[in-house]
């Protein structure tokens, strides 16, 4: 989702563009029903048809790459005193609760996600049509800082600030990149109009008041500056009727319990559903609001080579992350036992690995 801060020259807000997917020439085209693989209505009431597949092909799940992907990611060991749940470490913020562990395993998942998301966007770090290139950039909830570091490398004349509640960013970073420990839900301390680009990615389930967050991003931007936020839906989907039409399938039970847990926490996981982002971003005052939806395969089941690779990385990301998604929310918030959590995660793991049901979700 990208959008622009109204500049004094703008007379009236432009209407939002139709939902679009990137075309091969890097532009945008509306989703069309012509792609092989067919289209099915989703739980969001929209139809998607971006992932081609071949009925005949004997595909594997793509999970074989997990070990090699993990071994290539090295992150600095933290010396801070974190909260521990069953051997996983969690940030101990005094001002907010965050569901995810901040240990190497979860962080490896974040870095893998960065890789497939960048591939999904045709190797772009952002999609807003920022021209000239941004020079003062803020990445809110930066995680391992991988996006901020890549941006600093790609735009050496820019200054990039990444903020997070967890000090999990590397120490050796480009000279034009810095990190601050900051809870994005508190009042931002940057003077108004400090940045020409504010970027957010994957703060789903972390924010109590999204309207306030977007309003703070608006205020921090110079007139004419750009804002981009990319969020996950958490409902795995399948167009295979036996899964799609089964209300008790693990994909639906999984989403349901996570919605309930984060509702209890007061931090919705439904932010990427039902045009909520677009509505709140528009309410914050932004114009030129463009919403894009990507269908992301889990596993290497697509016949399209690019989506096959993306699916393989996405599955590796999910494999690294599933337990981390569940541990705090299901055990601490929903009161499940550790064994229950592990059984639930195992059931989910089996299904996301199953290429025959062609799992995917929407970004
Ligand atoms: C799912 S990760 C995404 C990280 C990064 N944006 C990326 O895409 O790789 C969410 C990050 O948001 C951070 N976070 C959660 N709540 C936050 C808050 N209130 N303020 C700042 N960061 C927060 C977490 O510590 C975590 O690093």
Nearest ligand 1 atom to the CA of 146 is 9
Task: Answer with the residue of higher pLDDT: 7 or 303.
Answer: 303
What's the mean pLDDT when you consider all of the chain?
85
pLDDT greater than 90 at residue 186 = yes
What pLDDT sits at residue 83? 83
What pLDDT sits at residue 143? 97
Q: Which residues contact 356 (CB under 8 A, 6 or more apart)?
A: 240
Kindly state the average pLDDT of the residues 244-266.
97
Question: Ligand 1 site: residues with CB under 6 angstroms?
Answer: 91, 96, 98, 100, 110, 114, 141-143, 146-147, 163-166, 183-185, 201-203, 206
- Ligand 1 centroid to Cα of residue 59, in Å, is 34
Kindly state the average pLDDT of the residues 148-165.
97
Q: Alpha-carbon distance 363 to 45, whole Å?
A: 15
Kindly state the average pLDDT of the residues 186-202.
97
What pLDDT sits at residue 11? 36
Architecture of the domain delimited by 125-234+274-292 = 3-Layer(aba) Sandwich (3.40)
* CA proximity to 126, closest of 70, 196, 189, 190: 196
Residue-wise DSSP of 233-247: ----B--SHHHHT-T
Nearest ligand 1 atom to the CA of 166 is 25
Residue-wise DSSP of 44-113: TS-EE----B-TT-----SGGGHHHHHHT---PPP-S--EEETTEEE---SS----SB-SHHHHHHHHHH
pLDDT greater than 80 at residue 72 = no
- Ligand 1 centroid to Cα of residue 297, in Å, is 23
What pLDDT sits at residue 103? 87
Mutational test site, ligand 1, from 107, 137, 164, max ligand atoms within 8 Å of CB:
164
> How sure is the predictor about 132, in pLDDT bands with cuts at 50, 70 and 90?
very high
Mutational test site, ligand 1, from 92, 97, 111, 141, max ligand atoms within 8 Å of CB:
141
Q: Which residues contact 218 (CB under 8 A, 6 or more apart)?
A: 5, 227, 284, 285, 286
Which residue intervals of the chain are DSSP H helices?
66-71, 104-120, 146-154, 210-220, 241-244, 250-265, 276-283, 305-326, 338-352
Nearest ligand 1 atom to the CA of 184 is 20
* CA proximity to 241, closest of 13, 38, 90: 38
pTM (predicted TM-score) = 0.84
- Ligand 1 centroid to Cα of residue 300, in Å, is 28
* CA proximity to 243, closest of 345, 360, 324: 360
Task: Answer with the residue of higher pLDDT: 180 or 91.
Answer: 180
Q: Where are the domains of the chain?
A: 64-123+236-268+293-363, 125-234+274-292
- Number of Cβ within 10 Å of residue 25's Cβ equals 8
Tens of pLDDT, residue by residue over 321-360, are 999 999 999 999 999 999 999 999 999 999 999 999 999 9
Tens of pLDDT, residue by residue over 89-99, are 888 888 888 99
- Ligand 1 centroid to Cα of residue 100, in Å, is 9
């Amino acid at each position: 989702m990208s959008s622009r801060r109204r500049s004094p020259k703008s007379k009236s807000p432009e209407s939002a563009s139709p939902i679009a997917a990137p075309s091969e020439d890097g532009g945008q085209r509306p989703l069309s029903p012509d792609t092989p693989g067919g289209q099915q209505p989703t739980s969001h009431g929209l139809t998607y048809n971006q992932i081609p597949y071949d009925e005949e092909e004997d595909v594997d799940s793509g999970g074989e790459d997990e070990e090699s992907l993990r071994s290539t990611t090295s992150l600095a060991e933290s010396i801070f005193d974190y909260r521990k749940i069953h051997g996983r470490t969690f940030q101990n913020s005094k001002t907010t609760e965050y569901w995810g562990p901040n240990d190497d395993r979860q962080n490896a998942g974040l870095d893998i996600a960065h890789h497939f998301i960048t591939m999904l966007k045709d190797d772009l770090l952002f999609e807003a049509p920022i021209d000239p290139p941004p020079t003062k950039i803020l990445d809110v909830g930066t995680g391992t800082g991988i996006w901020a570091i890549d941006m600093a490398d790609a735009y050496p004349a820019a200054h990039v600030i990444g903020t997070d509640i967890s000090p999990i960013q590397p120490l050796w970073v480009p000279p034009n990149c810095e990190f601050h420990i900051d809870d994005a839900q508190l009042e931002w301390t940057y003077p108004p109009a400090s940045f020409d680009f504010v970027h957010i990615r994957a703060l789903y389930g972390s924010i109590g008041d999204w309207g306030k967050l977007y309003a703070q991003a608006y205020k921090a931007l110079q007139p004419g500056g750009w804002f981009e936020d990319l969020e996950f839906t958490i409902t795995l989907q399948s167009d295979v009727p036996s899964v799609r039409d089964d209300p008790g399938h693990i994909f639906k039970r999984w989403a349901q319990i996570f919605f309930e847990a984060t509702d209890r926490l007061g931090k919705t996981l439904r932010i990427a559903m039902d045009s909520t982002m677009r509505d709140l971003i528009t309410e914050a005052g932004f114009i030129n609001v463009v919403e894009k939806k990507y269908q992301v395969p889990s596993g290497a089941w697509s016949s399209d080579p690019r989506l096959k690779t993306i699916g393989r990385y996405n599955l590796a990301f999910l494999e690294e992350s599933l337990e981390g998604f569940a541990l705090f929310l299901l055990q601490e918030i929903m009161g499940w036992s550790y064994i229950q959590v592990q059984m639930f995660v195992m059931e989910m793991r089996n299904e996301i690995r199953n290429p025959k049901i062609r799992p995917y979700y929407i970004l």
